[in-house]
């Protein structure tokens, strides 16, 4: 996976810089999301791994994507096909999204709670996290009864464990040391 990360980085960065300079970040994110889904398709992946030429791959890929890609995005597909990098499109999309979020000072926070959070609770949590992280926060809430009580929050590399199970585990560790 790290190999795909390294392969995708320059394409994601170039796409991001182009989109930023042309005020088209959302449009490019949508185009890359679509292209990434096409690249993930089993039949398309098998075709991309075949011995077909770069022109054939780029042509077919752009035909499948049809009106979903503008001319600059189709040019990027051709370039990636010439370098045999079309299978890296899902990772290009992931990295582009990270660059876009960083640029817009946004962060996605996964919240796993024992029960469904109300809209008011979500607003209060988003405000508190926005203040702490100095970014706009997008919450991705889910329910997991195994959390027991409280919640578990993941934002990038940071994890905030406010669950009862987490507190009990920390208490046991403290008592044992």
* CATH number for region 105-176: 3.40.30
- The answer to whether residue 1 scores a pLDDT higher than 50 is no
Comparing CA positions, the residue from 108, 84, 94, 106 lying closest to residue 13 is: 94
What percentage of residues in the chain have a pLDDT greater than 70? 99
pTM of model > 0.75: no
Q: Report residue 2's pLDDT band, with 50, 70 and 90 as the boundaries.
A: low
Contact of 129 with 109, CB cutoff 8 Å: yes
Q: Which CATH class is domain 2-101?
A: mainly alpha
Angstrom distance (rounded) from CA 59 to CA 53: 10
Please classify residue 54 by burial: count the beta carbons closer than 10 Å to its beta carbon, then call 0-12 exposed, 13-18 middle and 19+ buried. Answer: middle
Angstrom distance (rounded) from CA 44 to CA 41: 5
Half-sphere exposure of 120 (CA within 13 A, CB side): 0
- The answer to whether residue 85 scores a pLDDT higher than 70 is yes
pLDDT in tens, 92-148: 999 999 999 888 888 889 999 988 999 999 999 999 988 988 888 889 999 988 888
Contact of 153 with 111, CB cutoff 8 Å: yes
Domain with CATH 3.40.30 in the chain: 105-176
pLDDT at residue 175 in the model:
92
pLDDT at residue 153 in the model:
92
Domain with CATH 1.10.520.20 in the chain: 2-101
pLDDT in tens, 147-156: 888 899 998 7
**Average of pLDDT values for 41-48?**
91
């Amino acid at each position: 996976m790290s190999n795909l990360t390294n392969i995708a980085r320059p394409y994601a960065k170039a796409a991001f810089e182009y989109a930023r300079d042309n005020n088209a970040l959302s449009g490019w994110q949508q185009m890359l999301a679509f292209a990434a889904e096409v690249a993930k398709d089993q039949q398309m992946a098998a075709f991309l791994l075949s011995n077909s030429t770069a022109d054939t791959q780029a042509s077919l890929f752009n035909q499948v994507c049809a009106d979903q890609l503008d001319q600059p995005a189709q040019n990027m597909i051709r370039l990636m096909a010439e370098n045999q990098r079309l299978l890296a499109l899902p990772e290009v999309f992931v990295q582009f999204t990270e660059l876009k979020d960083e640029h817009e000072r946004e962060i996605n926070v996964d919240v796993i709670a024992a029960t469904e959070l109300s809209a008011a609770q979500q607003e209060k949590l988003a405000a508190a996290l926005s203040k702490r992280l100095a970014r706009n926060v997008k919450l991705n809430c889910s329910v997991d009864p195994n959390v027991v009580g409280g919640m578990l929050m993941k934002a990038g590399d940071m994890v905030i464990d406010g669950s009862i199970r987490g507190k009990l585990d920390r208490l046991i560790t403290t008592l044992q040391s």
